[in-house]
């Protein structure tokens, strides 16, 4: 199984890049995990927000392959406990599809991206800055992997 994150936003604070990179380095090499960033679309006040979301959505969808399992981060998605996420990750690995996770722009993802999603995952009911969402996402993926492999990172 290979996995990657497509994230809108190409300029993150150095602490985000450092924390994200730290957790990515801990992920299993066979996942070949990588980050693909998409520039945030311009949001002039004279243009509806949906136009920016649609532009970003087209760029996201252009990077998704037909056979990939798509997990979109969305505030209306399902929330998982760490243990439930570990079980879900184990299920996805068993099926053997490559995984692509998506974090949209400041206003979320387009309806087309949501329609392409196999799973919608809400990291929290809280509103999170995009950089923090990236870090939280990768930490939870690492935690889920550690649970499935018996690694001592997660404690109950």
Q: Is residue 154 part of a domain?
A: no
Q: What is the pTM of this model?
A: 0.92
Q: Is residue 99 part of a domain?
A: yes
Number of structural domains (the chain) is 1
Per run of 10 residues, the mean pLDDT along the chain (length 156 residues) is: 92 94 95 94 85 95 95 94 93 89 93 97 90 95 92 70
* CATH (domain of 77): 3.40.1280.10
Q: Residue 125 sits in which domain range?
A: 3-149
Q: Is residue 55 part of a domain?
A: yes
Q: How many CA atoms lie within 13 A of 29 on its CB side?
A: 0
Task: Write down the pLDDT at residue 46.
Answer: 85
Task: Write down the pLDDT at residue 154.
Answer: 66
Task: Write down the pLDDT at residue 144.
Answer: 94
Angle between helices 130-149 and 14-26 (to 10 degrees): 10
Task: Write down the pLDDT at residue 155.
Answer: 67
């Amino acid at each position: 199984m290979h996995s990657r994150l497509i994230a809108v936003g190409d300029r993150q604070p150095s602490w985000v890049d450092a924390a994200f990179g730290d957790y990515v380095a801990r992920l299993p090499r066979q996942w070949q995990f990588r980050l693909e960033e998409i520039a945030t679309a311009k949001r002039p006040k004279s243009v509806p927000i949906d136009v920016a979301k649609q532009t970003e959505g087209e760029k996201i969808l252009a990077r998704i392959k037909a056979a990939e399992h798509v997990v979109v981060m969305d505030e209306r998605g399902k929330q998982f406990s760490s243990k439930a996420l570990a079980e879900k990750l184990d299920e996805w690995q068993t099926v053997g599809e490559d995984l692509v996770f998506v974090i949209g722009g400041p206003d979320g993802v387009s309806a087309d991206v949501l329609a392409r999603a196999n799973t919608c995952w809400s990291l929290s009911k809280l509103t999170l800055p995009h950089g923090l969402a990236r870090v939280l996402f990768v930490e939870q993926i690492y935690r889920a992997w550690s649970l499935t492999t018996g690694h001592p990172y997660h404690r109950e």
